[in-house]
Amino acid sequence: MPRASPPDAADLPAPLREEISRHLQQQADAEAAATSKKRARPGDGAENDERLAAVEDFELSCPGLGSLVWPGVTDLRGLPGKLDGVVKFGSHEVLLYPDLPEALKPRPGEALNKRFIYTMENVWARDKRTGSYLTDARSVAAFRAQLQRKADKLGIRMLSYSHERGLWRVEVVPS
């Protein structure tokens, strides 16, 4: 089945354009601060399409739940609707394109359906009976091993776990 080409930035819904524009502005601000160079003024629609086609290290976050980073260049032109319809954060989970039928989702490697780093927040070792937090070295090591087994079972790669901050980082490669 042939795929349609991604829409122009002008064809994207306004909330999505605004969210992407905020990300691009934050990225531009960070680049400007890092290089101490003046930023160019925003250009016409064609320049914006070009920027959407190659967004570097795109990041989304949901405070209290986690964040996603797509390392490298990501083409955001073909995203349907608002980003909150494309990415849904939950407690210790994230869903990409949850409402799209499989046939309409981007192929692996396209748009947001590519390798990303997921950092989950509020991931703590707890006693199953009492619910109290476990901080002793043995319990933390056992919990870390449990997270590794879970990552292996899900087919994702565990990058790190910080019991001090309750952060679990994994790398996901959609197939």
pLDDT, tens digit, 9 for 90 and up, residues 40-92: 233 445 556 677 888 999 999 999 999 999 999 999 887 755 677 789 999 99
**How many Å apart are CA 52 and CA 9, to the nearest integer?**
7
Whether the pLDDT of residue 98 is over 70: the answer is yes
What does the mean pLDDT of the chain come to?
80
The reported pLDDT for the residue numbered 77 is 84
- Cβ neighbours, 10 Å, residue 138: 8
The residues spanned by each domain of the chain are 9-172
Whether the pLDDT of residue 140 is over 60: the answer is yes
* Fold exhibited by the domain 9-172: c-terminal autoproteolytic domain of nucleoporin nup98 (3.30.1610)
Whether the pLDDT of residue 153 is over 50: the answer is yes
The reported pLDDT for the residue numbered 31 is 43
**How many Å apart are CA 77 and CA 112, to the nearest integer?**
11
State the Cα torsion 66-71-153-134 to the nearest 10°: -40
First CA to last CA distance, the chain? 19
The reported pLDDT for the residue numbered 175 is 83
